[in-house]
Amino acid sequence: MEFYVTEDPIIKCSNCGQKNKISIDDLDYDSYFIGKYNMGERFEHVFGYEGICGCCGTRFSFSIKGDEYPVGALEYQYSEADGCEIVFEPAIAVNYIGYDIPEEYEDIIASSVGELIEQIRRDYSVVYQITSRQFEELVAELFVEKGYDVTLTPARNDGGKDIIAKRNDDGIPICLYIECKQYDINNPVGVSIVRSASGVRAHDKVNKAIIVTTSRFTRGAFKYANEENHLIQLMSLNELL
């Protein structure tokens, strides 16, 4: 099993504004053991880079990090930057080739989306044990149940919309962009995610952006969504189940 960055990150120098594309091959990779929790071990995978702006000579560094929990699942991704801004943050993905999934997770990882929904309706904690892609598939299926035609966007090409859901309401076509955030309950969805989903919605001129999470939303996120009125909706997975 291998955690990897799917595309070349692009950064912008904080001093002169020069954009630099950094090759994936130039990233330094390291992984750290964070601790042992109720579902087993947690690791952090870090893809870091230190460099000098080719235009003005300013030093910069950044890192793209992914938390693995439980073993084999990318729980969430985040980043840090110093002396630069990450203008394109590629997704971290997991390559399972050659990896034996631990027996205790085999059922969860191997089950079909329909079975998964049933499992989660019985035991909500299962939702924290699946991969982020499975979570997207699960949310997509719940919108299918609501009569939408859904398309999952490619994992590597995530621009504020994981799912595109379309429906025809009495001749009126409706198009939704759905962003899925499978976060731990202690890691609420903040305003920056709402703002970026809202930006993508406005740019692509679709009816509504929906953010579905297993966590909760910050006060700032709610305030921003309220100001956007019906154009953006924040949902807990519970509301969909």
Task: Report the residue number, 58 or 111, with the smaller CB distance to Zn ion.
Answer: 58
Residues that bind Zn ion (CB under 5 A): 13, 15-16, 18, 53, 55-56, 58
Task: Report the residue number, 17 or 102, with the smaller CB distance to Zn ion.
Answer: 17
Task: Report the residue number, 57 or 114, with the smaller CB distance to Zn ion.
Answer: 57
CB of 15 to Zn ion, least distance (A): 5
Question: Are 230 and 207 within 8 A, CB to CB?
Answer: no
Strand-pair partners of 35: 42
Compute CA distances 14 → 49, 61, 90, whole Å.
Answer: 15, 11, 19
CB of 11 to Zn ion, least distance (A): 10
Q: How far apart are the first and last CA of the chain?
A: 32
CB of 145 to Zn ion, least distance (A): 50
Task: Report the residue number, 76 or 88, with the smaller CB distance to Zn ion.
Answer: 88
CB of 92 to Zn ion, least distance (A): 26
Task: Report the residue number, 13 or 138, with the smaller CB distance to Zn ion.
Answer: 13
| Burial per residue of 116-137, b for 16 or more beta-carbon CB atoms within 10 angstroms, e otherwise | bbebbeeeeebbbbbbbbbbbb
Tokens 């985040």 belong to 78
CB of 225 to Zn ion, least distance (A): 36
Task: Report the residue number, 53 or 73, with the smaller CB distance to Zn ion.
Answer: 53
CA distance 76 to 183: 7
Question: Are 179 and 161 within 8 A, CB to CB?
Answer: yes
| Cα dihedral across residues 192, 197, 198, 204: positive or negative | positive
226, containing H or E segment: helix 219-227
CB of 28 to Zn ion, least distance (A): 21
CA distance 197 to 203: 10
In the chain, the amino acid numbered 125 is: S
